[in-house]
Amino acid sequence: SRPLIVILGDQLTEDLPVLTGAPDNAVVALFEVEEEGRYVPHHPQKIAFLFSAMRHFAQALRQKGHQVHYTCLDDNDNTQDLISEAERVATLYDCDDIRVTSPGEWRLFDRIQKRRSNTPTWYMVTDDRFFCSQEEFNQWAQGRQRFRMEHFYRWMRRETGLLMDEQNNPQGERWNFDQDNRKPLPRDIHPPEPPQHQPDQMTREVMALVETHFGDHFGTLEGFNWPVTRRQALNDLNHFIKHALPFFGDYQDAISDQHPFLYHARLSGALNAGLLRPLEVCQAAENAWRDGSVPLNCTEGFIRQILGWREYVRGIYWLNMPGYKQRNDLKADRNLPAFYWTGDTDMRCLRRAIEMTRDHAYAHHIQRLMVTGNFALLCGVRPEALCDWYLAVYIDAYEWVELPNTLGMVLYADGGYLGSKPYCASGKYIDRMSDHCQQCRFDVKKSIGEDACPFNSLYWYFLERHEKQLAGNQRMKLIYGSLNKMSSDKREALREQAIRFLDQLDYEPAYGQGDHL
């Protein structure tokens, strides 16, 4: 018998069990298909990154002696859908079964499940590229009333031994160094330039292809600078550890009007596509602390994102899908403001976050959470509309990681299952953490009037609208205390200001049909 080994675009890892366990006669297959590029309108850089990385990966597999089938997007016989392409190619090579590493997204997992009794037969193999398997996560979750990332993270630290001492206690005698982190942005800041990867012939061909087929999607291809091979990804990792990690913790929450990447790793695209393993990334960070080149608060803060948040959101996704996607506990019902697809707004923080997204298929965590996310939360944007946007526009976006972050962390649409309180904030937060407000046409100190920062009235109106769901939350007590001390005239003025603002916003009719940049 002869298997077809299917490698999906985010499974570009040479030691995947489906590959290491493949018999000599196996055919390994990768497919570029329209369907995956269009189920949301992915940013052209994301599609170019994946197609180029897939082509380089196929080349590396051939060099290792595998027999590889590669379907290019514009091949005449391409069925343009992953499942039908796999079944077509299996027949072409006389393969009796199709083996695939379990997909990261429920959408595909469900479709494959439903084809299991077909011929050729589909087999799904567990994805071993995570610290915590789904069975382990489910066991951890079982019997717990409330989940908190911090508890999960401490368990993961103990399990892996990362940043633990000989007695299995946390290094530095603390689990968490957040108190030392989260400094606002200093005036004169010079973050390191990311390494430059000149697009080679293969990447240039892919960019032309993407321009032809997906040129109408939001986002530019110009300045494409993502790693498309494992070698380039390792280069980015080493560069980050040396030049940015020593400041990562300090400025983790800062937002700059000029510097999109600040001291962030820019590694999520490579990690999620499989070019890097999370363990090697965490070990590189730990080693840099051990040899004295990086302070503990930076190393711990960074490892927590990968060992903690990344694993935690994946566990939550698989534990709760498909129902999780339907949650909308705050009953948010607005469409996405149209400027998310154009950047055409006078609000400087939003404009810059969206422009950076358009130019790099990237915005860092705090821009996603506290600028575009916070604004959508305060406006009451429908989870589905916002999730589709986040899934489309970022280099690293796959539903397993995007959905819990957007629906849970940003929109609180799961009623506090993932995060203990909504990350809602007024303009004051953005002013403290960024240098946007000095350059904005709105006055962050004002809440009422034509030039008042819209975040301010929206913030109070949001709190007022959701008093019933949120006022009982211990962590919101202080802020509801302030709301309740406010005079009714002031509350009314804020409410009117917010409603007027929401009424004059343009909203997209449906995703992808807006006026794209």
The region that residue 473 occupies, defined by phi over 0 for left and psi between -120 and 50 for alpha, beta otherwise, is beta
Strand ranges for 22-152 from DSSP E: 27-31, 67-71, 97-101, 121-125
Q: What residues between 123 and 142 interact with ligand FAD by CB under 6 A?
A: none
Instruction: Please report whether residue 369 would count as binding ligand FAD according to CB under 6 A.
Output: yes
Closest CB to ligand DLZ: residue number: 9
Upper half-sphere CA count for residue 34 (Cβ side, 13 Å): 11
Contact residue for ligand FAD among 203, 342, 406, 434 (CB under 6 A): 406
Instruction: Quote the CA–CA distance of 42 and 85 in Å, as a whole number.
Output: 20
Contact mark string toward ligand DLZ, 16..55, x via CB under 6 A: ---------------xxx--xx----x----x--x-----
Contacting range for ligand FAD; rule: CB under 6 A; set: 7-15, 264-272, 326-334, 486-494: 264-272
Task: Please say which residue, 373 or 422, places its beta carbon nearer to ligand FAD.
Answer: 373
Task: Please say which residue, 103 or 343, places its beta carbon nearer to ligand DLZ.
Answer: 103
What are the C-alpha distances in Å from 43 to residues 167, 202, 210?
47, 19, 10
Instruction: Please report whether residue 418 would count as binding ligand FAD according to CB under 6 A.
Output: no
Contacting range for ligand FAD; rule: CB under 6 A; set: 35-43, 118-126, 155-163, 302-310: 302-310
Task: Please say which residue, 306 or 347, places its beta carbon nearer to ligand FAD.
Answer: 306
Task: Please say which residue, 10 or 300, places its beta carbon nearer to ligand DLZ.
Answer: 10
Residues 248 and 217: beta-carbon distance below 8 Å: no
Q: Which does 36 bind (CB under 5 to 8 A by kind): ligand DLZ, ligand FAD, none?
A: ligand DLZ
Residues 398 and 104: beta-carbon distance below 8 Å: yes
CB of 322 vs ligand DLZ, minimal distance in Å:
15
What are the C-alpha distances in Å from 140 to residues 66, 143, 226, 297, 417?
39, 8, 36, 27, 15
Contacting range for ligand FAD; rule: CB under 6 A; set: 124-132, 403-411, 462-470, 481-489: 403-411
Task: Please say which residue, 381 or 476, places its beta carbon nearer to ligand FAD.
Answer: 381
Instruction: Please report whether residue 311 would count as binding ligand DLZ according to CB under 6 A.
Output: no
Contact residue for ligand FAD among 66, 183, 243, 365 (CB under 6 A): 365
What are the C-alpha distances in Å from 424 to residues 297, 380, 462?
26, 11, 9
CB of 109 vs ligand FAD, minimal distance in Å:
17
Contact residue for ligand DLZ among 104, 269, 337, 454 (CB under 6 A): 104
Instruction: Quote the CA–CA distance of 245 and 237 in Å, as a whole number.
Output: 10
Contact residue for ligand FAD among 45, 101, 256, 268 (CB under 6 A): 268
CB of 222 vs ligand DLZ, minimal distance in Å:
19
Residues 6+ apart with CB under 8 A from 281: 237, 265, 267, 271, 306
Q: Which two tokens stand for residue 131?
A: 């610290």
- In DSSP terms, which residues pair with 28 in a beta bridge? 5, 68
Contacting range for ligand DLZ; rule: CB under 6 A; set: 99-107, 225-233, 364-372, 475-483: 99-107
Task: Please say which residue, 42 or 157, places its beta carbon nearer to ligand DLZ.
Answer: 42
CB of 154 vs ligand DLZ, minimal distance in Å:
28
CB of 256 vs ligand FAD, minimal distance in Å:
13
CB of 491 vs ligand FAD, minimal distance in Å:
29
Q: What is the separation of C-alpha 458 from the centre of its chain, rounded to a whole number of angstroms?
A: 26
Strand ranges for 34-134 from DSSP E: 67-71, 97-101, 121-125
User: Residue 250 phi/psi, 5° resolution?
Assistant: -55, -45
Counting Cβ atoms within 10 Å, is residue 265 exposed (0-12), middle (13-18) or buried (19+)? buried
Instruction: Quote the CA–CA distance of 434 and 187 in Å, as a whole number.
Output: 10
What are the C-alpha distances in Å from 238 to residues 102, 279, 321?
30, 14, 36
Contacting range for ligand FAD; rule: CB under 6 A; set: 261-269, 344-352, 450-458, 472-480: 261-269
Task: Please say which residue, 226 or 390, places its beta carbon nearer to ligand FAD.
Answer: 390
Residues 388 and 39: beta-carbon distance below 8 Å: no
Instruction: Please report whether residue 112 would count as binding ligand DLZ according to CB under 6 A.
Output: no
* Cβ-based neighbour number of residue 408 at 10 Å: 23
Q: What residues between 349 and 408 interact with ligand DLZ by CB under 6 A?
A: 398
Instruction: Please report whether residue 405 would count as binding ligand FAD according to CB under 6 A.
Output: yes
Counting Cβ atoms within 10 Å, is residue 459 exposed (0-12), middle (13-18) or buried (19+)? buried
Instruction: Please report whether residue 87 would count as binding ligand DLZ according to CB under 6 A.
Output: no
CB of 101 vs ligand DLZ, minimal distance in Å:
9
Residue whose entry in the numeric block shows the structure tokens 């810059």? 352
Contact residue for ligand DLZ among 4, 5, 9, 237 (CB under 6 A): 9
Instruction: Please report whether residue 267 would count as binding ligand FAD according to CB under 6 A.
Output: yes
Beta strands 97-101 and 67-71 are: unpaired
Contacts to ligand FAD by CB under 6 A = 264-268, 271-272, 302, 305-306, 309-310, 313, 364-365, 368-369, 373, 390, 394, 396-398, 401-402, 405-406, 409-410
Which residues make up the interface to ligand DLZ (CB under 6 A)?
Answer: 8-10, 31-33, 36-37, 42, 47, 50, 82, 103-105, 108, 398
